[in-house]
Amino acid sequence: MRIACLQHVKRDFVDCGKEDKDAQEVVDILNRFYRE
């Protein structure tokens, strides 16, 4: 099984744009993984 890097996954959601609320929510969740 191949698992993608979360930053590459996040990029696909960022490309959806800020008007897509569901995509923005996923971006916000993924950003939490990289905060200290």
Tokens of 12: 């696909």
Give the per-residue pLDDT at 36.
57
Give the per-residue pLDDT at 21.
95
What's the CA gap between 5 and 36, in Å, rounded? 19
Among 4, 7, 25, CA closest to 16: 25
Q: Give the residue extent of every domain in the chain.
A: 1-36
pLDDT tens, 1-36? 666 788 888 999 999 988 999 999 999 999 998 775
Give the per-residue pLDDT at 3.
63
* pTM of structure: 0.71
- The residue behind tokens 């008007």 is 19
